[in-house]
Amino acid sequence: MTYSDELWEDTLLSDKNFPINMFHNHTDQVEKEQNILFLHWHAHFEFIVMQEGRASFLIDSIPYEASPGEVLIVPSGALHVGYSLDDKPVKYVSIVFSSSLFEDFSLDSTYQTYIKPYLEGTQSFPVKLGDAATSHPEAFSLLHQAMEEFTSKKPAYRLAVINHLMLLFIHISRSIKPSSSAGHSTEQSFSRKLEPFKQLIRYLEMNPSHKISVEQASNKVNLSSFHFCKIFKKITGRTFIDFVNLLRINEAERLLRDSSMSVTEIAEQIGCDNPNYFTKLFKKYKGMTPTLSRKSLLNSSY
């Protein structure tokens, strides 16, 4: 599972000279509708390459189903989150890169025409490329070549990765009619509406132990609690309480692994005053009690 903190712009692409990273996400023990990609966003462009299992990714609140071989394109700034569609293992690769990856080509006319508009968001690709292997074999091949180069790290692999991605952009923009985002009032107004939610979600992620009611949260985004619940579910795919509880349980799991605190102490730490309820909640999200989880986490670390 990928956590949002790893995807904040400052921590994700540490090499400023080569601002790209590739994440291999693999979840073995999966239940239906399990969270396989934590809700997050970043200023970077991202490709999600599905390899195994089936998942639903909510990208700016629109659901996209992905099966092996399918590719999703996450535009910069888009909120995205992923859930498994059945109880089988899920495997996918995320390729995340900053627009500054192509800095050396910024004055090149090809870059100006075929890449810059997409990276700057004035034009956008469709999120789902479909089964890239059959409908866009060339794009699929370029993406895989970039992935292979990135993994193998052969001499001059950086240049190879940049060139494969550049060709990929050119190929997609040639073969797929782009939709212009500039002046698209509906998308723009929705994007504006998302901003307070992004800030709220970031606050929740940074402070998993802070108790916050639906009413307090709705006040933060200046909506009635009724409407807040509707919009929050639309954006995240989860109810507000469900989302907050998942954050708290993830924090509890970290404390079980990295600290010697008792279950009761951890329950208090994450803002769950009642350890009875904490145990019940933990079992609901993680499929086992906190004590068993600690044993399992410690065993797997050896």
By CB under 7 A, name the binding residues for DNA.
Answer: 186, 189-190, 193, 213-215, 223-227, 229-230, 233, 239-242, 245, 262-264, 272-277, 279-281, 283-284, 289-292
Q: How far is the CB of 218 from DNA (least distance, A)?
A: 8
195: CB partners within 8 A, 6+ apart: none
**Nearer of residues 199 and 224 to DNA, judged by Cβ:** 224
**Nearer of residues 62 and 241 to DNA, judged by Cβ:** 241
- Let me know: does 245 contact 255? Beta carbons within 8 Å: no
**Nearer of residues 24 and 280 to DNA, judged by Cβ:** 280
- Both structure tokens of 71: 């590719």
C-beta pairs of 199-206 under 8 Å, 24+ apart in sequence: 201/39, 201/79, 201/236, 204/243, 204/244, 204/247, 205/4, 205/5, 205/247
Q: How far is the CB of 232 from DNA (least distance, A)?
A: 7
Q: How far is the CB of 193 from DNA (least distance, A)?
A: 6
Distance (Å, rounded) from C-alpha 260 to C-alpha 19?
Answer: 37
- Let me know: does 55 contact 85? Beta carbons within 8 Å: yes
| Sign of the alpha-carbon torsion through 30, 84, 38, 69 | positive
- Let me know: does 125 contact 172? Beta carbons within 8 Å: yes
Q: How far is the CB of 241 from DNA (least distance, A)?
A: 4
**Nearer of residues 133 and 229 to DNA, judged by Cβ:** 229
Q: How far is the CB of 72 from DNA (least distance, A)?
A: 24
Q: How far is the CB of 181 from DNA (least distance, A)?
A: 16
**Nearer of residues 97 and 278 to DNA, judged by Cβ:** 278
**Nearer of residues 80 and 294 to DNA, judged by Cβ:** 294
Distance (Å, rounded) from C-alpha 259 to C-alpha 266?
Answer: 9
